[in-house]
Amino acid sequence: IIGAGVEMGAGTWVGSHVVIKGPSRIGTNNKIYHFCSIGEDPQDKKFESSANSTLIIGDNNTIREYCSINRGTPHGGGVTSIGTDNWIMAYCHIAHDCHIGNHTVFANNTTLAGHVDIHDFVILGGFTGVHQFCRMGIGSFSAIAAIIVKDVPPFILAEGNTARARTINREGLKRRGVDKEVIATLKRAYKTLYRQGLTLQEALTRLKEDAGEIPEMVQLVNFIQESKRGIIR
């Protein structure tokens, strides 16, 4: 069922028993498998049906069976967005006002509360749950059944309930062709953040000194400085 206010680009395929509600804009060459609910009203008691509320999905995404993706709410910016080349497996839920980047993987039963930001190249293990207003930085990784209640910095592997940092996502960095010396620098940065008994501010000062012009280190420092919820430690 394709409702009013739904725009869909060329090459997008929709399976049986899918309901897509507008206002929603869906790009090109997406595959939306059977029994999905896309663009439905947000699960927010404050939401009114007349409110400004939109879902935007980019190109080349795969959304497997039984996924639910809700539109945004006015107090959260009004938009839920999903970028390009994402792989969203069965039974995932993406709540209102979430923003998903590009090239992410959501394993089965991943659940995002409202206002969650998932940056590029993030991988979420099956049954991961992410608390509202949390962010996962570029290239981070959550292990199976991780429960995330604070921000996960870029390139960090998070594990457990509640999730804690375990190591850097070395395999993900290697797959993306990141230089070995940069990976070694990020490993030292991980030890500074998590293994040397420093306060966050002390660790951040050292990370700034080590960052230089290495883009990955700059991304790590900026993410920590911009965190409103605090990072997992």
> Of 97, 117, 120, 151, which residue is the catalytic one?
97
Query: In the chain, what is the greatest distance between 2 CA atoms, to the nearest angstrom?
Result: 56
Known active-site residue 93:
no
Residue 183, both tokens: 């990976």
Q: Tell me the CB-side half-sphere exposure of residue 40, using CA atoms within 13 A.
A: 14
Known active-site residue 27:
no
Residues 6+ apart with CB under 8 A from 167: 156, 157, 190
Q: Identify which of 40, 30, 31, 2 has the alpha carbon closest to the alpha carbon of residue 18.
A: 2
Residues 6+ apart with CB under 8 A from 199: none
> Of 114, 125, 129, 139, which residue is the catalytic one?
114
Cβ(164)–Cβ(194) below 8 Å: no
> Of 22, 27, 96, 115, which residue is the catalytic one?
96
Known active-site residue 114:
yes
List C-alpha distances in Å: 169 to 127, 165, 173. Answer: 19, 10, 6
First to last CA, the chain: 45
Active site residues: 96-97, 114
